[in-house]
Structures are given as structure tokens and as C-alpha cells.
Amino acid sequence: MGAQKKSGARVSEDPDELVRVPLQAILLADSFTTKFRPITLERPKVLLPLVNVPMINYTLTWLESAGVEEVFVFCCSHSKQVINYLEKSEWLSQPNFTVATIESQNSVSAGDALRVIYERNVIHGDFVLISGDTVSNMSLTQALLEHKERRKKDNNAVMTMVIKRSKPNPAIHQSRLGTDELFMAIDPNTKQLVYYEDRADQSRGTLHLDKSLLVDNPSLSLHHDKQDCYIDICSPEVLSLFTDNFDYQHLRRHFVKGLLVDDIMGYKIFVHEIHSDYAARIDNFRSYDTVSKDIIHRWTYPLVPDVMNFGHTATKLERQGMYRALEISQSQSAVIGPFTVIGSGTKIGNNTKISNSVIGEGCKIGSNVIIEGCYIWDNISVEDGCKLQHAIVCDGVIIKSGAVLEPGVILSFKVVVGPEFVVPPYSKVSLFQQPIKEDSDEELEYADSTSVIGSQVDKSDVEISSKVLETNFSPASQLGMGGAGHVWSTCEGGHEEEWRHSVAPIPKDKILEAIKTMEDDMEFAQDDSFLPPSGELKPNSIDSDDDDHEDSRDDSYYFEKEVEATFLRAVHENIQESHLMLEINSLKLSYNKQTSDCAGALFYAMMKYALDIPHSSADGLLQNVQVVFTKWKKALTSYLNDKDEQIEVILKFEEMCLESANEFAPLFTTILHHLYNDDVIEENAILSWEDEKKDADEADKVFVKQAQKFIQWLKEAPEEDDDEE
């Protein structure tokens, strides 16, 4: 299965007992949320394709590579589909890696599942708890070691949660995975978790903490820049705690919060933060889109398309992040853009354009079709002249000629869209009629649709046969002439919430509205005393200038990384400049940065991208720079309204030439001249930069000296040259 080297099994913690204990894991396959309906009415989410590979394969591959030897896959609804898939995929027959299934028809939550597993008495030591929709490439070695060392000193240390830095969008209080802004309080010395809240009062950006937290913890760090990876290392006591407390249903809102406020038993939860490793859970369509893009961009290596074949035809990685199966039929006039995956057996017609999309196996794509930012699963027919934008299309769908899918559309299995029909934005279409009652994510974390459609489909299994489908839909005029399917009405909150969890980019008007609200809230809070968004609290402590400087430096680093990631998304997803500027402005407010910081960070991102575009000579690199600035100049110059901001760009360019991008050093003057000619940097900024360098060390004057002829030309040039326009 392409697994990495294992980290090895454990030995019993009792030194007098030389018993080899295999590292075990519990994988919860029923990790569904309401945001995935109507798809999960017909197929378990863990079997939905993630870049043409079922999600559960990513989780199992990682567990095997991380040294886990026994995995218990818990199944409730759709259990037959999950078990049949595992048997056919040969996961149940891997050497040195045992995968066993535990089936229960009456469990509707994570708490119920763990109580069933406790009754089976199959867990014999510390174990990894994970859902089957998690993608990771992290090593478990250090987290396991920390957990074991803590257990030796304190038997009440029952859980270690894996977390990762992931600053949410400050305007919409939502991470790039579509999850709510998460607040944590952590002891910075022991890494003990003392507070966990994903539903803070966002109306005024306030957070309410019990005073006892500050009294009982001499040092406390507050964070809202962490992502819960939903990977937990647990001691066996965790299972018994669920058995003793039937109120524990939801892993986080019930179990974790319950332990944090329980002063009687004294059980403790700790965190392990990963930095360069990848870990993310898919629990809505936005996280599905984000993780898919991360896989295609190879952040999850070795869990990438050209490695994760699993019996499929080999996929080859080509230039600009394009993955193509060997057995495809593509017209010479068809254009396949970067960061696109094409499955085997797929046929693509004349003049069709596909970009930033995943196309499954056995698809028939007609001529003059435009597909952008979509997930097209297996055996789908898209006839001539169709346009699909940021949509998910499930197996067996037929989209007839000239039809249009607006951003955010979900077409469930075997839906038919009539010719020339336009499916409105964020529509969810299924052959099933919409359930009368839908459970909320607040009630059930791992519940499937069993409690929702019991009157329509047998609770013990939700396998879909062609006979069942024939009796559950009628040719719906809602989808045009010859269309088939039911358009579901929006949930509570309507379209106002659909965009939050869609695969479509966040609408420009929503970002504008959110930024305006945030600015109003900041004005309201200016006269109030409030805690910093993330920092360390020490009662009766004295502020340290050095610590403040270090925190500021860290913030600057992460701000630049966020801007770079935002710019690259804009490039790869063809986002408009105005939308890019909105996102950067949002980051500016979040990190409390100046316009000059935005200018320097965006300039760095643009130059770094130009450097990464393939080139074979200095002239080729210079041409790359010109192409990038031609397309994105407006975004950069929006942050260059005065001299200081332009000087910041020159200083950032110097820094790149000296440190991270030496390839630019010989071209410094040429590029600076280009920026001047293109009205990006003005003459007074260049002359002021030179003036600031007069008293600098010789080592800091390298590029001033290199640009001396150009600077002298500026000084001697007639004034009217500056006013030609």
C-alpha cells in the first residue's frame, strides 16, 4: 500500500511484565455531518472519493505507516458497504497490519461507538482515536513518547490531542477548512489543555473565562490560531469514562469539555502541536475542497495521487501539478490546466477547457465544455457546451448539452440535468426527496442519516440499488426537460450559511460585509480592555520587551506565510485581483499590520512565484517577473500609496536577494528599473532608499552600489520625464 517505515510496536509500561503490546487504533467510520447530505444518504462519507481515492484509504495508509498494527473500524449505518469495500480492497489481509470491523446498528454517536468497543474488550493499552475522514502524514513517535512519559508521572493524563497552527479568517471567524474559530487555553509549560471552545461569543469578539482558570494556573496561553486535527492518543480509561457517563455523546462538546470542568476525578487532557507535518479532517464541503487541493499540491506527501493508486491505473505527475492516468482519450484541442487530476478511461472532447479540477474514471466530457474548480466523480456524462463551476458531481450523473452548474452546486448520484438548464448556486440535488427532519451537527457528531430517513430507508443499511432509485424519484421538471432529481430547499439560515461550507470561493460581497462588521467591532472595543487574540497570560507578571519583540517577529513570519498562501490560491484558482485584495486586507486586520507590511508580503509572494515558474536562464527569470507583475500589478500598487510603502518593497527585495532568492541578486538593478518604468516604485522612493543607506555598513550597501548608475540617471533626468503623462 506504499506505506512508510513503521515506528514499531510498544512494550508494556509495567517493567516487570515483558509483554509486547501492539499499537492499536479505533477508526470511526460513521463520522457524518448534516453538511454532507444528500450524498451521505446514499453512500458512507468515508467511501466518497478524495482525489479519486476513497477517504478511508488515506486514514488507513497513514495508520499503517505510523506504526499502528491493529485497527478496529467501527461501522453503524452503511456498514455493509464499508465492510464489503474493505474486503475487496484487501485491507483485511495485509501482513503485520490487522484491520477488523465492529458493527453496531444502534449507535448514533461517537459515545455510543466507544461504549460498544469497551464492551467488546478488544483494546489492551493506549490507542489512537481517529475518524475515517482524516488525512495526515505526521509521525506518531514523538506524540506517543510524550503521552507515555506523562502517564508514568500522572495516571490522570488520559488523552493527548494533536493540534496545528491554522489562523482563521478574521472576518468570517472560520478556518480554511470551513470550521468555526476555535479558542483554547493551554498551560505553556506542561501543554495541558484547560479550556476548549468552538462557539465563543463572536458578536463582539469576546471570550468569557472563569476566574478560577487564572487562579489555578500560574501560566496560561490563550489561542484562537489552532486547528484541532481530531487525532487523539488515548489511555484505556477513556473507554471506561464513556461507559460511566452516558451523557458523553460528542467527543469534543461532551467528553473533552466534561473532563475540563470535572474537579472531582481530576482527569487531564494534553496537546501535541505539529508544525511541518500535515493533518486535517474533512467534515464539510469546504474542507473537502481544501484538503483535495492540499493533496494535489503535495502538502500531504506521500499521500499524493501518483502514489495512492490502490489498484487503479497508474497516475503520472506532469508539469504544473497535473496528474493524468495513462488510459485517457483527449482531443488535441482540449486544454487541461494546472493542478488537475484526470482518471483512467475518461474521454475529453474538442475545445474543452478543464482547470483546477478532479475528473474521475470512465467520464465522457463533450466538446466546448468549461469545467473550473469542480469534482467530477466516476462514470459521468457531460454533453457539449456545458459550463461547470466549483461544483461536486457524483457517480452516474448526466448533464445534458448546454446546461450550467453555478458555483456551490451538489449533484448526488444518477441525477439528470436537462439541456440548457441552469442549476442555481448552492443547490443540492438528489434522486431522494428531502428528509422532513434533519439532525443538527450540535446533536450528533458521528451520526449518519439513520435517525433522519428511517421511514424511507431501512435503518440497518442504506445501500442504494437501481430498483430503490426507480421508486424514489420522478422525472422532475425542476431540472428542465428530461431532468431527474429533487432540488432540496435550503436549511435553516438559507443561502446565508450555504457559502460558508461550499467548494465555491467565498463571495466578494460576503467578505466585504464581514470586514465592515469586524471594523465596527474593533472601533467598539477600542475603549474597552480586552485580551490579545493569542498570547500568554501570567498573573502578577511584568511585561517583557524581549517577549513582545519575539511575539511580533513570529506574527510577521506567519502573516507573510498567510499572504503568500493567499496569493498562490489566487493564482491557481484564477481569483480576481479585487478578491485577493479583500483577503489580504482581512489578514491585515487580523494581524494588526500596516499597509507597508502588506506591500512587502505581497511583493515577496509575487517574486517567489516568479522564481518558482520554470526557467533556464536569467532572461527567462526576468520574463517570469514581468509576466507576474503584468497580471497582479494592480493588487500590489493598491498598497503602495506613499513613499514608505514603496521603500518597504525595495528593502524586501534586498532581503530576498541576500537570503532566500540569491538568483535575483544579479538582476536587482534591472528589476528595480522595470518597477520604476511600470509605475510600481517612484523616483523619490528610490532616492530616499539610497539616502537611508548612506550611514549603513558596507555589507548593507551592496545593492545601492549595484544600482548606482540607475540612481545617478534618475538624479540627472529632466523633471518633465516624470510628468510625461
In which residue are the cell numbers 450523473 written? 397
Of 527 and 49, more confident? 49
Q: What is the pLDDT of residue 140?
A: 94
DSSP state of 167: P
Cell of 495: 443561502
397-411, 481-495, 518-532, range with the lowest pLDDT? 518-532
* Whole-number Å distance between alpha carbons of 188 and 265: 23
> Hey, what amino acid is at 233?
I
For the residues 321-331, what does the mean pLDDT come to?
Answer: 90
**Each residue's pLDDT tens digit, 109-138:** 888 899 999 999 999 999 999 999 999 999
147-161, 181-195, 230-244, 481-495, range with the lowest pLDDT? 481-495
Q: What is the pLDDT of residue 697?
A: 74
For the residues 18-22, what does the mean pLDDT come to?
Answer: 61
Of 495 and 294, more confident? 294
Confidence band for 34, pLDDT divided at 50, 70 and 90: low
For the residues 430-448, what does the mean pLDDT come to?
Answer: 59
Confidence band for 566, pLDDT divided at 50, 70 and 90: confident
Q: What is the pLDDT of residue 586?
A: 78
Model confidence at 404: pLDDT above 90: yes
For the residues 530-544, what does the mean pLDDT come to?
Answer: 43
Q: What is the pLDDT of residue 518?
A: 61
Model confidence at 257: pLDDT above 80: yes
* Whole-number Å distance between alpha carbons of 162 and 234: 11
CA distance from start to end of the chain: 64
Model confidence at 18: pLDDT above 60: no
Of 250 and 661, more confident? 250
Yes or no: say if 49 and 380 are a contact pair by the CB < 8 Å rule: no
Q: What is the pLDDT of residue 33?
A: 59
Confidence band for 453, pLDDT divided at 50, 70 and 90: very low
Model confidence at 515: pLDDT above 80: no
H helices present in 222-266, as ranges: 237-244, 257-261
Percent of the chain's residues with pLDDT above 90 = 39
Sheet containing strand 364-365, edge to edge, reads 329-330, 347-348, 364-365, 381-382, 398-399, 416-417
What is the SS3 assignment for 680-703?
CCCHHHHHHHHHHCCCCCHHHHHH
24-28, 119-123, 572-576, range with the lowest pLDDT? 572-576
Model confidence at 429: pLDDT above 80: yes
In which residue are the cell numbers 450550467 written? 404
Model confidence at 400: pLDDT above 90: yes
Yes or no: say if 243 and 118 are a contact pair by the CB < 8 Å rule: yes
* Whole-number Å distance between alpha carbons of 708 and 192: 57
Indicate the pairing of strand 347-348 with strand 24-28.
Answer: unpaired
Confidence band for 587, pLDDT divided at 50, 70 and 90: confident
41-50, 286-295, 521-530, range with the lowest pLDDT? 521-530
Yes or no: say if 308 and 53 are a contact pair by the CB < 8 Å rule: yes
Q: What is the pLDDT of residue 449?
A: 33
How confident is the prediction for the chain on average, in pLDDT? Answer: 81
Please choose, from the candidates 4, 228, 267, 23, the residue with its C-alpha nearest in 3D space to the C-alpha of residue 145.
23
Q: What is the pLDDT of residue 545?
A: 43
What are the residues facing 54 on neighbouring strands?
Answer: 49
467-471, 497-501, 684-688, range with the lowest pLDDT? 467-471
**Each residue's pLDDT tens digit, 331-390:** 999 999 888 999 999 999 999 999 999 999 999 999 999 999 999 999 999 999 999 999
The CA-CA-CA angle for residues 53, 58, 64, to 5°, reads 135
Model confidence at 209: pLDDT above 90: no
Handedness of CA 358, 359, 360, 361 (dihedral sign): negative
Please choose, from the candidates 626, 629, 649, 631, the residue with its C-alpha nearest in 3D space to the C-alpha of residue 639.
649
Percent of the chain's residues with pLDDT above 70 = 81
Yes or no: say if 59 and 103 are a contact pair by the CB < 8 Å rule: no
